[in-house]
C-alpha cells in the first residue's frame, strides 16, 4: 500500500473503509426485511390513486408478509425502457389493451392462465372483461379498476333553476342544448388539452357517437383497424360531433380557441361559476374525482351529477364505452403470482371502490360498497350496460391512437379539412396495425 500513499492519500482510508461500511449497511437492510420477499410494481398512479392502491394491497402484505415496492410515474416510456433493458418490474400497469397486445406479441407478458383460477374468474367477471385481458386466447392482463366513459356532467341546481329536463334521447339532448343556447349561455364546456396527450377528450365524443350511431359491429371493426376512417360511418360520426356541438357557433364556451388551450381537468370549472358559463360537460366517470380535487367543497349528487350520453340511434340504446386500468405480469415469481391472484378478488377490489374514484368490473363487489349514490349509479350503468365496448382508442396501436388525438384537434381547428384528415388517418391505419 506504501506505493499508493501520495500526499496523505491512502487507498485504505478512501475506498476500503466506506466500502465496508456500505456492505454492512446493505447486510443489515436486506437481512431485516426480505423474509417473505417483495413484488415491484410500476403504475401510472400518484397522489390519492397511489394511496388507494397501497390501501388495496395492505391486507395482502399483512397476511403474507410480502412487501410491495411501488413506483408511480405517468411517463409510459419508463416501462418500455425497462423492458428493453431486460429489467422490467414484476407487475406493471399497462396504458391500454393496445399496448398489452403489443407487449404480448413480443413475448414480454407472462400468461396468467396458470396463475388465476379460471372458474373463479368466470363467475366474478363478465366474459367481455376477461376477453379484454386476453391475447391469442391467453389471459395476460387483469383490470384493477374500471371507468365508464360517455357521461354528461351537470350541476343539478343550475338545471333546477332553469327547469331544464334531463335528456333521455338524442333529440332531447339537441333540443335541450338549443334551449340553453337561446337562454344566452353556451351549453357545453370542453377542454381538449392534456399534457402529452392533447386531443383525447375529443376522441371520447367520437367513440360514443360511433358506438351508438353506427353500432357495435362497426365500432369493433374500427378499433381492430379493418374499418376505414374515410368510410361513411366514421366520417358521419365526426360530422355529427362537429355540426351539432364543437363547430356550432356559440355552443361551446370560448369556442375552438378555449377548447384547444384548456386542459381537460380545468375545462369544467366555468360550469360551477355563478352565473354558470356552461351547463354540460362530457367526460368519463373519473371526472367526479377531479371536480372534488379542484374544489373540495363540492359534494357528489347535490353539487354535480351526471346522465349517460343518450344513444344517437335508439337501436343502440344501452351502448357504453368503458375503460380500465390493466395490469400485467413481467416476472414470474411466487410473490408476483400471489399478488396477481389477490388483486382480482372482490375483497381487494372492494377496498378501492370504498375509497372512491374507482368502479370494479368484479360482479361480486357489492353495490353498497360504493361511497356515494353517484358512484353507485355509475356502477349500475356499468354492470347494466347492454352493449359495453372498451375505449376504441386504447384498443388501437399507439401510433393510431396518437394520430386520432391529433385528428380531433385538426378537425376542431379546420372542420373543412375533414376529408384530408381522414385520408391521413387511413394512411396511418395501413401502417400502424402491421
Q: Does 249 bind another protein (CB under 8 A)?
A: no
* Among 167-175, 232-240, 372-380, 391-399, the segment contacting another protein (CB under 8 A): 391-399
CA 102 to chain centre: 18
Q: Cell numbers at residue 337, please?
A: 403470482
Using CB under 8 A as the binding rule, whether residue 96 contacts another protein is answered as no
Give phi and psi for 147, each to the nearest 5. -135, 160
Residue range at the interface with another protein (CB under 8 A); choices 170-178, 340-348, 379-387, 398-406: 398-406
Q: How far is the CB of 260 from another protein (least distance, A)?
A: 4
Shortest Cβ 67–another protein spacing (Å): 12
Of the residues 120, 123, 243, 261, which one makes contact with another protein according to CB under 8 A: 261
Residue 391 C-beta: closest distance to another protein, Å:
17
C-alpha 414/C-alpha 73 separation (Å) is 35
Residue 280: half-sphere exposure toward Cβ, Cα within 13 Å? 27
Residue 186 or 351: the one with the smaller Cβ distance to another protein is 186
Cβ atoms of 240 and 209 within 8 Å: the answer is: yes
26 makes contact with another protein (CB under 8 A)? yes
Residue 431 found at the interface with another protein (CB under 8 A): yes
Shortest separation between residue 265's beta carbon and another protein, angstroms: 14
Cis peptide before 275 (omega within 30 of 0): yes
d(CA 131, CA 133): 5
Q: Is 77 in the site for another protein (CB under 8 A)?
A: yes
Q: Which of 242, 266, 236, 277 is nearest to 256 (CA)?
A: 242
Stretch that binds another protein, among 42-50, 148-156, 260-268, 334-342 (CB under 8 A): 260-268
15: contact with another protein by CB under 8 A: yes
- Tell me: does residue 201 bind another protein (CB under 8 A): no
Cell of 388: 359495453
Site for another protein in 141-200 (CB under 8 A): 195-199
Pick from 397, 404, 411, 421: which binds another protein (CB under 8 A)? Answer: 397
What is the rounded distance in angstroms from the CA atom of residue 303 to the CA atom of residue 306?
11
Task: Determine which residue in the list 10, 50, 64, 76 makes contact with another protein, applying CB under 8 A.
Answer: 76
| CB-nearer residue toward another protein: 11 or 367 | 11
Stretch that binds another protein, among 131-139, 169-177, 247-255, 288-296 (CB under 8 A): 247-255
For residues 40 and 93, the answer to whether their CB atoms sit within 8 Å is: no
Does 398 contact another protein by CB under 8 A?
A: yes
Q: How far is the CB of 258 from another protein (least distance, A)?
A: 5
Angle at 309 between CA 304 and CA 311, to 5 degrees: 160
Looking at the Cβ atoms of 29 and 380, the one nearer to another protein is 29
Told to check if 102 binds another protein by CB under 8 A, we report: yes
Query: What b/e sequence results for 266-303 when a residue is b if at least 16 CB atoms lie within 10 Å of its CB, and e otherwise?
Result: ebbbbbbeeebebbbbbbbbbbbbbbbeeeeeeebeee
Grid coordinates representing 349 are 377490489
- For 110-136, letters b (16+ CB in 10 Å) and e give bbbeebbeeeebeebbbeebbebbbbe
Choose, by CB under 8 A, the member of 277, 331, 355, 376 that binds another protein: 277
User: Using an 8 Å Cβ cutoff, are 361 and 125 in contact?
Assistant: yes
The answer to whether residue 30 forms part of the interface with another protein (CB under 8 A) is: yes
What does the binding site for another protein look like in residue numbers (CB under 8 A)? 3-4, 11, 15, 19, 22-23, 26-27, 30, 34, 76-77, 80-81, 102, 195-199, 253-255, 257-258, 260-262, 270, 277, 397-399, 402, 406, 409, 413, 424, 431-432, 434
Amino acid at each position: 500500500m506504501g506505493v499508493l500513499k501520495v500526499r496523505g492519500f491512502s487507498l485504505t482510508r478512501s475506498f476500503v473503509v466506506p466500502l465496508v461500511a456500505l456492505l454492512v449497511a446493505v447486510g443489515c437492510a436486506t437481512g431485516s426485511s426480505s423474509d417473505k420477499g417483495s413484488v415491484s410494481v410500476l403504475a401510472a398512479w400518484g397522489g390519492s390513486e397511489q394511496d388507494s392502491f397501497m390501501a388495496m394491497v395492505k391486507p395482502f402484505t399483512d397476511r403474507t408478509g410480502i412487501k410491495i415496492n411501488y413506483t408511480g410515474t405517468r411517463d409510459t416510456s419508463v416501462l418500455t425502457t425497462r423492458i428493453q433493458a431486460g429489467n422490467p418490474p414484476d407487475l406493471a400497469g399497462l396504458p391500454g389493451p393496445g399496448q398489452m397486445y403489443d407487449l404480448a406479441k413480443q413475448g414480454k407478458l407472462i400468461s396468467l392462465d396458470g396463475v388465476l383460477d379460471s372458474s373463479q374468474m368466470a363467475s366474478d367477471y363478465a366474459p367481455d372483461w376477461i376477453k379484454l385481458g386476453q391475447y391469442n386466447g391467453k389471459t395476460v392482463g387483469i383490470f384493477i379498476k374500471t371507468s365508464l366513459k360517455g357521461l354528461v356532467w351537470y350541476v343539478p341546481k343550475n338545471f333546477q333553476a332553469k327547469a331544464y329536463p334531463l335528456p333521455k334521447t338524442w333529440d332531447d339532448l339537441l333540443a335541450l342544448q338549443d334551449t340553453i343556447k337561446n337562454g344566452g349561455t353556451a351549453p357545453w364546456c370542453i377542454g381538449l388539452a392534456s399534457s402529452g396527450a392533447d386531443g383525447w377528450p375529443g376522441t371520447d365524443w367520437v367513440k360514443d357517437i360511433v358506438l351508438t350511431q353506427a353500432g357495435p359491429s362497426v365500432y369493433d371493426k374500427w378499433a381492430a383497424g379493418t374499418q376505414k376512417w374515410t368510410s361513411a360511418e366514421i366520417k358521419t360520426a365526426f360530422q355529427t360531433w362537429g355540426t351539432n356541438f364543437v363547430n356550432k357557433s356559440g355552443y361551446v364556451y370560448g369556442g375552438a380557441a378555449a377548447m384547444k388551450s384548456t386542459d381537460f381537468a380545468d375545462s369544467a370549472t366555468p360550469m360551477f361559476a355563478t352565473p354558470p358559463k356552461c351547463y354540460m360537460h362530457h367526460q368519463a366517470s373519473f371526472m367526479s374525482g377531479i371536480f372534488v380535487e379542484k374544489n373540495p367543497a363540492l359534494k357528489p349528487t347535490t353539487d354535480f351529477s351526471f346522465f349517460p350520453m343518450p344513444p344517437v340511434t335508439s337501436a343502440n340504446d344501452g351502448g357504453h364505452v368503458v375503460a380500465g386500468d390493466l395490469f400485467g405480469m413481467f416476472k414470474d415469481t411466487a410473490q408476483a403470482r400471489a399478488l396477481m391472484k389477490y388483486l382480482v378478488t372482490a375483497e381487494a377490489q372492494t377496498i378501492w371502490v370504498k375509497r372512491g374514484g374507482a368502479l370494479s368490473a368484479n360482479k361480486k363487489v357489492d353495490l353498497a360498497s360504493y361511497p356515494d349514490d353517484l358512484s353507485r349509479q355509475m356502477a349500475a350503468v356499468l354492470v347494466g350496460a347492454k352493449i359495453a365496448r372498451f375505449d376504441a382508442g386504447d384498443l388501437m396501436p399507439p401510433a393510431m391512437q396518437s394520430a386520432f388525438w391529433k385528428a380531433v384537434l385538426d378537425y376542431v381547428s379546420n372542420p373543412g379539412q375533414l376529408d384530408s384528415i381522414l385520408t391521413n388517418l387511413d394512411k396511418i391505419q395501413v401502417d400502424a396495425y402491421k
